[in-house]
Structure 1
Amino acid sequence: MDDRRPEHWLTACALLYGLTHHIGFGLAWLGTVGDTRWADWADILTPYAVLLTAAAALHTGRADVRCWALYLVGAVTYVEGHGIHLAANSVGNDTPGIPVVHLWDEVVGHYLWYAGTALVFAALARALAARPAPPMRYALIPALVVAVTWTTNSLEGGTAVMGLVIAAAFTVWGVRARRHLGRTLVPAFAPAVVALAVYGIWHRGFPEPTELGWI
């Protein structure tokens, strides 16, 4: 019997990525605790949720040294970016309008965080893309969760151009691996390519949804 543990961990990683990367919006209704928000405290769990499940997928998928090296660089970048974002965002929520907070949260933090995410995804793809493909009906929902999350993070995080380029690269990777598990990269990133491109053309740029009053 085939060992499906890598796919199970990969699914968990995708779903937790979608959940935790929307935690600030999803838990905003909880309000504040002291000078911070409850959502900020919950967001501390994000790197553990995403990176540990990704590592489990790599371990059970018997990733080689190069995959682990790529994962390590991605994980460090992810944690650094997320930590910068979380701290600066929390300060900004308490004391709005500080330019340096915007720099570290919306620019440095987001670019590092999402670049780290892409590197972790690349490590997963390199390790698992050649595995037998499960029925698409099982992989479609986690893949679409990734697509939606990558799109919303790229737009609201101010990294839309980088997000579009990376999504296009993963889509091509998925097409080339279409006879194997790697084909799930197509529904995970092709919708993001379309959504980001249409959004950019429609608005003649990439204003954040909050700037448009959508959130």
Structure 2
Amino acid sequence: MTIKDTPEEWEIRGTQTPFVGKKTSMRTDAVVMPGGAVVHRDYQVHPGSVAVLALDDADRVVVLRQYRHPVRQRLWEIPAGLLDVPGENPLHAARRELYEEAHVKAEDWRVLADVYTTPGGCDEAVRIFLARGLSEAEGDRFAVEDEEADMELARVPVDELVRGVLAGDLHNNCLVVGVLSLVAARTGDGLDALRPAEAPWPARPFEA
């Protein structure tokens, strides 16, 4: 058996979109089950996201602390954001988010992991990049608003983040997956063996 996720789509007898928001929407599909029964599945339709684990020369990760209203917590996260345009190159989006949220640029980019955040209730796909060779971005800082206006920035050692994840103190999925993937890559074939920054992404196809 090959341990690999594979594309598949069961028959859909009907679809409704009861809610359309600014960036996402809700959809209800009538899906035919293997036994023939038709059941309704509600899920959030999402444009997709990118996240950046930016690692500096002192083995620290650029993180930010931001209020997240649905969970009523202020979470430590890595820079991340939506794919604003269908078919947008995720590397371009990742560079934009790193600049806007941390005012940082990077010389070396790799794909760290591709994940579905909550596949039981949302089709959001996230590509998490590893960015190295960090330096301060040129120009003025990006003007932030709403929750981002209250963000706190820091650089935290990788080991400290790992301890926080395993202790149950850090919960943001991109941070958790990113940090643990970084450690796994280091103990495996090494960071230079990671996929190139513009590796294909079937969940959100794009033009290089």
Whether these two folds match at TM > 0.5 is no
Higher relative contact order (CA closer than 8 Å, sequence separation 6+): 2
More helix by percentage: 1
More strand by percentage: 2
Scaled by the length of structure 1, the TM-score of the pair is: 0.28
Larger radius of gyration: 2
